[in-house]
Structure 1
Amino acid sequence: MKKNVTAVFDIGRTNKKFFLFDSDFQEVYREYNRFDEITDEDGYPTENLEALEKWVKEVFDRMMDSPEFEIQALNFSCYGASLVHINENGKVLTPLYNYIKPLKAEVYETFYDKYGPENELSRITGSQKLGMLNTGMHLYWLKYASPKVYNQIKYSLHLPQYLSYLFTGIAVSEFTSIGCHTMLWDFEKKDYHKWVYQEEINEKLPPICSSRETTPINYKGRIIQIGAGIHDSSSALLPYIRSIKKPFLLVSTGTWSISINPFNKGMLTIDDIGKGCLFNMRIDGSPVKVSTLFLGNEYKLQIKALSTHFNVPDDYHKTVKFDQDIFYEIKKDFLYMFKWMSITSENMPEETEITYDRFEHAYHQLMLELVLLQVKSIRSAIGDANIGRLYVDGGFSDNEVYIHLLSQYLANIKISTTDSSLGSALGAAIVISDITLEPKFLKKNYSLKKHVPLIIQ
């Protein structure tokens, strides 16, 4: 007898994952892959979309033939801020442009001359000025930089919806992708911002559907319910929202660390914008206050440099455990040592200067400086909300040093971690189901662990 399962492709910038969940949302199968990046027409590194498509189809076809599992539904959780442009025949017209590909200054100048001021536009759209991370700016840039390509576009699909389109042939937009730092959405009007209509960019965006909707597709002789896909940060929030009643903050970590506050009331303020806050969107279209930090990316770059400096293997950092004595030594005479490579902070020095002769000491120093940035980001997301609980999921939930340091600097908040490997995949499975989650869901399905700060003498 085959086990009925829901399949989810959870696509991150680094790791591409495939999961199967049973009817109780217990993980019963997982598979990981990575792909080397390719370059776009300007030589800028980007996702190998063709390789991703090929892998997704190969994995799904193979698992459809599994003697053990009966796939009944499929959904997609993907990183945001990435558009796939297709023509009327469904052909992809451009590379999957990297969301950190820089935009020229004149793009911003012409845009804000027409539609500014910048702070007010950011406040209403819940979006910081983030270049290609604002998919609205991506489309605005493409319209004027490559008009021949732009005019061929039938639909521009966010990545989760494009992967769904590969299976359904139906082009849709979806709230969580449209509303997450895109600069497309007016949170006061609950509609596309007027600039989107004035530029007629709305004509390139297919109809919006609910994240909950599925489309029954006859796939190789079997009916599969296919979801529309969901933005990964919004997906990561779902298991918590549906099983926890008291106010909490979720820190979803990975390449980006997203501090998510679903209990914020009202619109963002100009002060919030100044502190780097923005809006994500829940599956019902309501806003969620978040603060973002390029934590995982910076960590990766700094670890590579540290490993070279100390001549240790690239994965040596994974062996480092939290050491209370090292922490006390660093904290006693604390000085900032690291110049960041992909983020900025007011306290960073002109150049990195490592004064330690052991990797473990330098690692604790690095983590302390990163955690201080993380705490600032968390406090920005909390704002005036009365938050007493914090959950950490994603890659850093397994990092003992990170968790211990976080608990030291947020001692008044109860901190728990959940299984990093599931990330947003579980939310993508839950969103297309009608099941109500019980209060102990996180403990049973997410390996929930509570953390108490050590007392530093």
Structure 2
Amino acid sequence: MIAIFDIGKTNKKLFVFDEQYNIVWERSCTCEQTVDEDGEPCEDLVQLNDFIFDSLAQVPGDLPVRAINFCAYGASFVYIGKDGKPVAPLYNYLKPFPEDLRAKFYAAHGGEVTFSMLTASPVLGSLNSGMQLYRIKEEQPALFEKIRTALHLPQYLSYLLTGIPCSDITSIGCHTNLWNFSQNHYHEWVYREGIIDKLAPILPSTSVLPTPTIPLSGIGLHDSSAAMIPYFESFREPFLLISTGTWCISMNPFNDSPLTVAELQKDSLCYLSYQGKPVKASRLFAGYEHEQRVQELAARFNVKPAAAMTVAFDAITVQQLRGNPHREPESFSQAYHRLMLDIIEKQVASTQLVLRDTDVKRIFVDGGFGKNQVYMHLLAGAFPDIEVFAASIPQASSIGAALAIHEHWNSRSRPGDIIELKYYK
């Protein structure tokens, strides 16, 4: 069996899978955040560490765990000191980035447009995780000196068990400002600014390392890249995946055209797959917007926010709202359809950025919106010439992390039927 930690910003989970990729045991928790030295909310590393080791200790003894791997959110570094322990907070990727420091960085390294095109990273401040290291170097030189190794969060989790620091291409290739996509190595600034000295050696995403307690450990993957792996295993025809959560990320592994300036300005970027190949993607903060606006609608119509999950798609309501867009909704259901029409309009614009001029014939939607009837029907209507499916794969990122090291722990062939599809006309 294999144990997989899936570490999100809110929910932390441990799954144990058997060789058929069935979940045979699981544990989860919601960890409270702490604050950094500026009072900004951030991950509590002490709580996170406790969750990792407490959860492993609770795995029943009759489950023969042969390997472990990790998937976690990206754009976040853990800074390890000479004693092997963290020397700084795990800064939040939403922490505001100083404008003067941003201007100084891009002025020194070719300007925002050229730099962004080379690194396939829109200008996102702290969400460009390399900028977090640059900020420490500029604002906290004493702390920068203390840092022996900066590990992206998935690789830090692996390091907790193995004690071996390493870097992984799926984390480096996640809008970090670190990677030159055209030359397929670190960008020149990483060497010029001395950042390279703080980065661990890059190992293949399929690597395994020994641990004192479990025979083998993977090195961890960025969760969005891990979620793609079951689709790579199951489908050969060109497809696009919309991974929905806080962010809705449209990922097209069959689009190899270079990013344009216009695409970058509209929040397009490239990820690197676990095989090291660029995956063109566009991002939309739709899950967050949905959550906030549902709270407002629930308060306005005096219902619980959970009522949104029970709203059935109504084509007549959609037709009425489109015919009279300024009409004030009279019920929660109408208001919710209006909200979803707004979100789908943005979703279509975002997805088109990576869809156009490709041979994609299928769109898969996983995550929360894949279970949302209103979202799925509206999306299918927006792409009448493409087959649109809700893709149900329990814990896609976790299964992807397990598949990445399949041959090291699993004696069976890779499964080809772990994705359930529901077609929407």
Q: Which of the five TM-score ranges fits, normalised by the shorter chain?
A: over 0.9
Other structure's SS at 1:372 match: helix
Which residue is 1:237 aligned to? 228
Cα distance change on mapping 1:107 and 1:436 into 2, 3 Å: farther
Amino acid at match of 2:109: Y
Aligned residue for 2:212, secondary structure, equals strand
CA distance in 2, matches of 1:421, 1:363: 26
TM-score normalised by structure 2 residue count: 0.96
Asked if 1 retains the 8 angstrom alpha-carbon contact of 2:282 and 2:350, the reply is yes
Percent identity of paired positions between Structure 1 and Structure 2: 41
8 A Cα contact 1:422 1:446, kept in partner: no
CA distance in 2 between counterparts of 1:266 and 1:366 reads 33
What is the rounded CA distance, in whole Å, between the counterparts of 1:224 and 1:308 in structure 2? 52
Q: How does 1:7-406 map to 2 (within 5 A)?
A: 7-63=3-59, 65-67=60-62, 69-219=63-213, 223-335=214-326, 355-406=328-379
- Distance in 2 between the 1:449 and 1:278 partners? 28
Q: Is the 8 A contact 2:117 2:260 kept in 1?
A: yes
CA distance in 1, matches of 2:393, 2:314: 23
Query: What number of residue pairs does the alignment pair up?
Result: 421
Letter in 1 for 2:47: A
Amino acid at match of 2:45: L
Q: Of 446, 449, 452, which aligns to 2:419?
A: 446
Distance in structure 1 (CA, Å) of the matches to 2:26 and 2:244: 20
Amino acid in the other structure paired with 2:209? T
Shift of 1:420: 5.8
Normalised to the residue count of structure 1, the TM-score between the two structures is 0.89
* CA displacement at 1:224 relative to structure 2: 2.2
What SS does the aligned partner of 1:242 have? helix
1:218-242 deviations in whole A, cap 9, x for unaligned?
A: 30xxx42100000011101111112
Asked whether the equivalents of residues 75 and 227 of structure 1 are also in contact (C-alpha less than 8 Å), the reply is: yes
What are the superposed Cα offsets for residues 252-296 of structure 1, whole Å, 9 maximum, x if unpaired?
Answer: 111111100101124322233233211100112221100011111
Contact 1:254-1:395 at 8 Å conserved across structures: yes
Q: Residues of 2 paired with 1:45 and 1:148: CA distance?
A: 23
SS in 2 for 1:71: coil
Runs of 4+ in 1 over 3 A off after TM superposition: 435-438
**Structure 2: which amino acid aligns with 1:246?**
E
- 2:95 counterpart letter in structure 1: K
**Secondary structure at the counterpart of residue 70 of structure 2:** strand
8 Å contact kept, 1:310–1:359: yes
TM-superposition CA deviations, 1:14-69 (whole Å, max 9, x none): 22222122112223333332122222111112222221211111111110x433x2
CA contact (8 A) 2:155 2:220 kept: yes
- Does the 8 Å CA contact 1:395/1:420 hold for their aligned counterparts? no
How far apart, CA to CA, are the structure 1 residues paired with 2:195 and 2:212? 33
Tell whether 2:414 aligns with 1:423: no
Aligned to 2:380: 407
1:349 is aligned to none
Structure 1, unpaired ranges of 5+: 336-353, 453-457
Aligned-residue RMSD, C-alpha: 1.5
Q: Deviations over 1:387-438 (max 9, x none)?
A: 1101111121111111111111111111112226413111001001136545
Q: Which moves more between the two structures, 265-274 or 162-171?
A: 265-274
Higher mean alpha-carbon deviation, 256-265 vs 308-317, is at 308-317
Residues 396 and 420 of structure 1 are in contact (CA less than 8 Å); yes or no, is this contact kept in structure 2? Answer: no
User: Gapped runs of 5+ residues in structure 2?
Assistant: none
Q: CA deviation at 1:177?
A: 0.2
1:123-148 deviation line (CA, Å, top 9, x unaligned): 11010000111011111111111111
CA distance in 2, matches of 1:307, 1:37: 26
Which whole-Å CA distance do the structure 2 matches of 1:90 and 1:305 have between them? 46
